[in-house]
Amino acid sequence: MSADRTPVTVVPLDAVVDPENEETVEAELRALQAGAGVVVVHVRTRVVTPRALHLLLRARQRAAAEGGILCVAAPDPAARRIFHLTGLSRVLRVAATVPGAVRRNAGAGCGHPPAATP
């Protein structure tokens, strides 16, 4: 079944992931991710910590092990830049919007707004 016909579960990530909340955030993500075919994690923070990156990579591995797909929507340009700088934007299929993440998963463009040129 193609991604455009597979139900999409959108999981908001509103917290900056740190040592104090990492387990809670991961447990919530795991519960929402269970049984979902396509999961879009909607990162709504400007700051994406190394703990958040590792959490998302673990979630991607869980999704793949269950035959699912995980991708990321990060509306804030600073957050997307972190994914790009770490080389994880392709691995995690990062896009600017939830529809863009779904399109990127389907092999289309990622929905990023055009970059401003200095």
DSSP helix/strand/coil, 69? strand
Q: Please say if the pLDDT value at position 101 is more than 60.
A: yes
What sign does the CA torsion over 74, 75, 76, 81 have? positive
Residue pair 111/104 in contact by the 8 Å Cβ criterion: yes
Distance, in Å, from the CA atom of 25 to the CA atom of 28, rounded to the nearest integer, reads: 5
pLDDT digits (tens, 9 = 90+) for 7-30: 899 999 999 999 999 999 999 999
Q: What's the whole-model pTM score?
A: 0.83
H-run or E-run covering 40: strand 38-43
Q: Please say if the pLDDT value at position 118 is more than 50.
A: no
Query: What are the boundaries of each domain within the chain?
Result: 8-105
Token readout for 11 is 């999981």
pLDDT digits (tens, 9 = 90+) for 83-98: 999 999 999 999 999 9
Q: How many CB atoms lie within 10 A of CB 26?
A: 19
pLDDT digits (tens, 9 = 90+) for 54-92: 999 999 999 999 999 999 999 999 999 999 999 999 999
Task: Select 8-105's CATH number: 3.30.450.20, 3.40.190.10, 3.40.50.300, 3.30.750.24.
Answer: 3.30.750.24
Distance, in Å, from the CA atom of 78 to the CA atom of 23, rounded to the nearest integer, reads: 24
